[in-house]
C-alpha cells in the first residue's frame, strides 16, 4: 500500500473536485441505471446446487437495494475481490454482464462505457469510504506495521482486512486504467453539460442488474 502513496494523494485531490459531477453524469446515463444490489460481495451471497447439479446463487442484505448506475453495483460486488481478478477478468466479466442484461430484455450496453462508469464510481466512493485506512492501520499497529494483508493480525480482523483490500484494488485500478484521466474528462463533460444519449425504457430501469 505504501508503494501507492503518491497515487492515493492524487486520487483524493482529484476525486474531491469531481464527486458531484461524476454522480450527476452517472445518474443521467439512464440506459446504465437499474434496480441493483449495492453490496453483492461474497459475504452477502450464498450458493447451492439443485437436483441437476446446476449452481445457483442468492443474495442477502437487501437494505440498500435501489435504482443506481450499474457501475455502482459492479464495484459493490467486486470491491473486496482479489486484485488479480480485476486484472485478469474484468473485461471478460463486463462482456458477460452486458450480454446477460441484453438477454433478459435490457438495452445493448457497451462494456467499455460500463467499465468507465465502474472506475469513476470506484474512485469517488474510495475517497468517501477509504481515506482513513492508512490512519486506521497506523493507529492499530503503531511502529510494528504488518508487511502484508496476510499477516495474522490483518487476516483475522475483517475491520482492517476488508477496507485494506478495497483500497489496494482502488489504487491498482487507478494506475492500471488511468482513472485520473477519466476524472479529468468527467469534469470537462460536466462543465459543458454533457449528457449521454438514452434509449432506455421504464421497464429496463426496473431490471435488477446484479442478478
pLDDT tens digits, 13-43: 555 555 565 566 676 788 999 999 988 888 8
Angstrom distance (rounded) from CA 138 to CA 102: 46
In a domain, 94, yes or no: yes
In a domain, 174, yes or no: yes
Write out the three cell numbers for 16. 474531491
- Residue of 106, 111, 37 whose CA lies nearest to 76: 37
pLDDT reported for residue 188: 78
pLDDT at 201 over 50: no
In a domain, 210, yes or no: no
Average pLDDT over residues 109-128: 92
Write out the three cell numbers for 156. 483475522
Number of domains in the chain: 1
Contact 185, 18 (CB under 8 A): no
Write out the three cell numbers for 20. 458531484
In a domain, 194, yes or no: yes
In a domain, 176, yes or no: yes
Give the residue numbers spanning the domain of 8: 2-198
Average pLDDT over residues 5-20: 57
In a domain, 40, yes or no: yes
Given the C-alpha cell 468517501, which residue does it identify? 128
In a domain, 211, yes or no: no
Say what angle helices 179-191 and 158-176 make with each other, to 10 degrees.
Answer: 70
Write out the three cell numbers for 114. 460500463
Given the C-alpha cell 459493490, which residue does it identify? 76
Contact 160, 154 (CB under 8 A): yes
The model carries a pTM of 0.78
Alpha helices in 29-110 (DSSP H): 70-78, 83-103
In a domain, 44, yes or no: yes
Name the 3-class secondary structure at 33: strand
Amino acid at each position: 500500500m505504501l508503494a501507492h502513496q503518491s497515487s492515493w494523494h492524487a486520487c483524493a485531490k482529484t476525486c474531491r473536485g469531481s464527486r458531484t459531477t461524476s454522480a450527476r453524469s452517472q445518474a443521467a446515463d439512464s440506459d446504465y441505471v437499474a434496480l441493483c444490489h449495492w453490496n453483492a460481495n461474497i459475504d452477502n451471497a450464498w450458493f447451492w446446487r439443485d437436483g441437476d447439479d446446476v449452481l445457483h446463487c442468492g443474495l442477502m442484505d437487501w437494505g440498500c437495494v435501489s435504482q443506481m448506475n450499474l457501475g455502482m453495483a459492479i464495484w459493490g460486488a467486486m470491491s473486496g475481490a482479489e486484485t488479480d481478478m480485476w486484472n485478469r477478468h474484468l473485461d471478460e466479466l463486463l462482456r458477460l454482464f452486458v450480454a446477460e442484461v441484453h438477454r433478459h430484455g435490457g438495452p445493448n450496453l457497451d462494456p467499455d462505457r460500463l467499465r468507465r462508469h465502474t472506475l469513476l464510481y470506484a474512485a469517488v466512493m474510495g475517497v468517501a469510504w477509504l481515506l482513513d485506512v492508512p490512519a486506521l492501520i497506523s493507529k492499530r499497529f503503531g511502529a510494528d506495521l504488518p508487511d502484508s494483508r496476510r499477516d495474522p493480525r490483518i487476516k483475522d480482523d475483517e475491520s482492517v482486512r476488508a477496507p485494506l483490500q478495497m483500497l489496494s484494488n482502488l489504487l491498482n485500478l487507478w494506475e492500471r486504467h488511468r482513472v485520473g484521466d477519466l476524472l479529468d474528462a468527467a469534469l470537462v463533460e460536466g462543465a459543458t453539460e454533457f449528457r449521454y444519449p438514452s434509449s432506455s425504457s421504464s421497464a429496463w430501469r426496473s431490471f435488477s442488474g446484479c442478478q
